[in-house]
Homo-oligomer: A and B are copies of this chain.
């Protein structure tokens, strides 16, 4: 009965208990249920070079139930990747072994988990890379909890993987029947889960998750199943192996009450070492070197929508660079990702109306060295907020593009208007937020953002706008453009995107009335151009921000970044969307929201007349 595999499972349990005991917190019982599943995977199926995590032939493992991190770290120890003393640093300041694993700290972690229901969607992205781009034999193994199957994102992933016939993907579901607060909806009813996965086109296997032979057979069945992803539904017991906690409620996320007794009950501390199989040879599939980039060019004065410029620039970037891929949420005719799709169909991923899966697939593709651009309406990217947040925890490098920004879209009304997106993306850790106002600027920013780190967001507009800049103008991140300036400027209008054009009209009208104003195009919303804003503040004393966005978290707040070091803050006046729009034409919308040229003129005159500005 005590095969090496069961012994290894017991070691993983013991080490999970020890790590949590040392930390005084953590999720040992959630680790113990899946210990046998992990032991067999590590010893029998997983092909991985721990010395070379970027090996193109490596299998990929995702711990979707990220709270079972003690199990993951115990497996790393068994594989020789970390030593026992490091294992016991779990959850302490400075340790790589965080409460939930992240690739920021550990090279063997593909993606940060801990927000449930995200591992499988990211695994789908990795499997897509393997199948459609790398054409490599690596397999993607995702260890899921049963509780997290309540997340809709899991079924977006199931749909995507089933439809794409990702037979390189295996979901191992640790059905331990207990969530955080108590029993799950379906308890140990493996059939309930099997029916769901089967309906989405998956092959399923139901097993006793503590029977190592059954586990081994199930993995073999997954590997030999062609044309379908496989879900292994494993009946397990939370806290398996220790009577005081096994299959009991109220013990989620807590160290065991008596660790020493538990370790004894589990047969004591072991030091088994697993020789993990080496991956097969594989080439790095995409060209690392960039070809010559020929961005599209527009003449100043042309009327072009920035979403059109986005699509064309992305297609050109895709021609120059093999590592660039695009994804879209079934609106590529609107976001103009279709231009890329037509030129590079092999590197375009249609994600249908499933924005969480859209972002997760981008994260997965990024783990395989790709530079993904994922697009939808700006409004609908809010659907993926938690995935963007977790991508930032991962340190993933992805480009997100939100079209149909603001009330300027017109008749479709508020459900389609992105007026919170700048706030959402600015608050993401280490993000870059770009918002172009013309086609040439858009094209340049698309090329630039591809080489940045972290989460990059580009906001595009639906309607045509005149091209302001020549095709050779440069737009560094953290820069801005001063479009009107004189020695006598009474205030500075700071705008971006559609409001730049309103600001220019307003400036001309104000100049005609003897009120010169400065106009700054703040295309880089994060980071902002500190110097230009500070100079404008010093010279004019007042910044009037105008934005097609709610008044919170957008451009009006962004300009403040230039004045947070204790220096005097200029007067700040803000025009932004403060009402709930209805349907109307774009021009009517801008006027109703008080962010059109007329509104800017009125605000500027009010400030001048009341002697608020010089």
Contacts and interface: CB of A to CB of B under 8 A. Distances in A.
A353 B116 contact: yes
Interface stretch (A145-153, A209-217, A472-480): A145-153
Interface in A355-398: 355-357, 379-380, 382-383, 385-386, 389-390, 392-393, 395
Contacts of A570: 569
Interface in A397-433: 410-416, 419-420, 423-424, 426-430
A98 B583 contact: yes
A91 to B, nearest CB: 4
Contact of A383 (B330, B386, B557): B386
A287 interface: no
A91 B581 CA distance: 12
A412 B385 CA distance: 20
A323 interface: no
A53 interface: no
Interface residues of A, number: 117
A432 to B, nearest CB: 13
A200 interface: yes
A91 B553 contact: no
A93 interface: yes
A283 interface: no
A159 interface: yes
A100 B413 contact: yes
Contacts of A416: 99-100, 114
Nearest to A433: B552
B582 A93 contact: yes
A564 B553 contact: no
A515 interface: no
A338 B426 CA distance: 34
Given A334-B180, A380-B386, A429-B580, A393 B411 contact: no
A98 B380 contact: no
A566 B560 contact: no
Interface string A199-227: 11000000000000000000000000000
A588 interface: yes
Interface string A519-539: 000000010000000000000
A499 interface: no
A286 interface: no
A423 B426 CA distance: 9
A582 B105 contact: yes
Nearest to A414: B393
A429 B423 CA distance: 12
Interface in A144-186: 147-148, 150-156, 159, 163, 179-181, 184-185
Given A115-B379, A415-B115, A553-B557, A159 B150 contact: yes
Given A94-B584, A102-B413, 11 more contacts: A25-B411, A98-B583, A114-B415, A163-B185, A181-B332, A185-B352, A382-B385, A427-B550, A556-B564, A564-B572, A566-B613
